[in-house]
Chains A and B, each alone.
Chain A
């Protein structure tokens, strides 16, 4: 059994709900199918304490239609990357920060708030990132339905109908 298979086996042993929902998709890369917020919160301490994934490299936001996918990528000191995909509904986009275990994720989780409109709770106070001051509420540019052509850079307003005139 190689290292990837061992990690998958240990995860499935500890969390039976992951069976058939986790796979090695490319060499050294373990992906999960979308899992719920509750399932994600159960797995994280195990990944940190038992599996030795000491670093959260990244969280990638994806617009999956009715839901937002949060692909958390963890690395160990070898070459394995573990990608856990948390799925939150667009109707109630809420997630809980993992920065208590992984301080290196703070900037990336702030980005998810600004660009995808997912309210990530539990982050420490600090400047938002990366959108500018005065960015209008309810505009989440990385969602698929947000069209940059409809955003007027002069007035900082999103024109629901048609193309913005001042598009600089």
Chain B
């Protein structure tokens, strides 16, 4: 099997054109992807996208484990949209089993999903600002993202991979203290997001850096099958929460955000405005969440059948295909994450751009990063110790000191 995209020369010069690879490890990329860029002067004349460096065989793994075990694998497809993946997987199994989950569970799933969208968009906004040299904004947005992660950690027990979903509902209920914390954080975030929205529309340096970059017209979105904020920023009405409402979204008013700039600036505006919309949705959920149980029992053996489920992850349409064979192990699980759909338009977006705009153009589709989970449970032998933040930090410093590295002199405030 040939592999022209990976076994290549470092750089090649032909007819005033320079061909060179960016990646798979590169300072401007946050995950292993390889882009073979052909340059003429400062302009990109061709780009070949090479991905697949992070393939972990999760679908094959799912075929040898039970549905419940698979839920934890599926949640780890992505650190950022973990809840979207586990929701789609659970919805698929619930549909195959003919199970209707309690309304309260549907609302809790939506609250977590919208918090996930908030933290994903805040993370993206920070990365995008970092890529264009606006590091102050990067610091601001990531500071705000910490607040969202704190809520998710409180409600789900973890900063990412919250483990809230289970087959038949959710594992954790909302308590009054969490709701109170959530409301206070939303009030703070709303002010910040309004500031960001105003900044994005008025800060001339940011606008001139983003406007006209990474163009993908409405026709090209339809041609290359782009999804999520990339599609909506080109005026395509593509939001699964609106066009095919699922779960509690059937009852919740969702205003689809679209824009007509069809460039990185448009994608920025869409994501910022979607954060405000997420806050509105969460507030609606808090006010209207029904009482009752949070889960129902689902038989271990799932009736034979096949199902296609799609949900709106923070990055766009997430499709899960599940085929069951009547046992407690699936016959086939296939995940089509939104980033997979957004790669196809990348060559078109990069061609004609300046080299300096390549990193932000790639970042603008929000390619899927691995977000490192910060563990709070440390197991040594049989003893399991739950640590708070300060103790965890002390543990880390001691761990490295034993290896001869002293980090204790670094001032880290919190």
Query: B91 → chain A, closest Cβ, in Å?
Result: 11
Provide the main secondary structure of the chain B interface.
Answer: mixed
Question: What residues of chain B lie closer than 8 Å to A158, measured between beta carbons?
Answer: none
Tell which of A107, A125, A141 has the most Cβ of chain B within 10 Å: A107
Q: Which residue of B lies closest to A31 (CB)?
A: B306
Cα separation A48 to B127 with both chains bound (whole Å): 37
* A133, CB-defined interface residue at 8 Å: yes
Question: What residues of chain B lie closer than 8 Å to A141, measured between beta carbons?
Answer: 57, 60
Cα separation A108 to B55 with both chains bound (whole Å): 14
Question: What residues of chain A lie closer than 8 Å to B6, measured between beta carbons?
Answer: 127, 133
Contact B307 A106 (CB under 8 A): no
* A118, CB-defined interface residue at 8 Å: no
Contact A127 B48 (CB under 8 A): yes
Cα separation A144 to B51 with both chains bound (whole Å): 25
Number of interface residues of A (CB under 8 A): 42
Cα separation A131 to B2 with both chains bound (whole Å): 11
Contact A71 B321 (CB under 8 A): yes
- Interface flags for B33-50 (1: CB within 8 Å of A; 0: not) read 010000000000000101
Query: A47 → chain B, closest Cβ, in Å?
Result: 14
Cβ-neighbour of A135 out of B1, B50, B59, B310 (below 8 A): B1
* B207, CB-defined interface residue at 8 Å: no
Q: Which of B131-139, B291-299, B335-343 contacts its partner?
A: B335-343
Contact B51 A57 (CB under 8 A): no
* A128, CB-defined interface residue at 8 Å: yes
- Interface flags for B347-363 (1: CB within 8 Å of A; 0: not) read 00000000000000000
Query: B324 → chain A, closest Cβ, in Å?
Result: 12
Cα separation A144 to B325 with both chains bound (whole Å): 14
Contact B340 A107 (CB under 8 A): yes
A55-B222, A78-B243, A106-B344 known; A60 vs B4 contact (CB < 8 Å): no
* B147, CB-defined interface residue at 8 Å: no
Cβ-neighbour of B244 out of A54, A79, A102, A103 (below 8 A): A79
* A91, CB-defined interface residue at 8 Å: no
* A86, CB-defined interface residue at 8 Å: no
Q: Which residue of B lies closest to A102 (CB)?
A: B225
Cα separation A31 to B331 with both chains bound (whole Å): 18
Question: What residues of chain B lie closer than 8 Å to A29, measured between beta carbons?
Answer: 307-308
Closest 3 pairs (CB-CB, A-B) = A127-B5, A104-B225, A130-B52
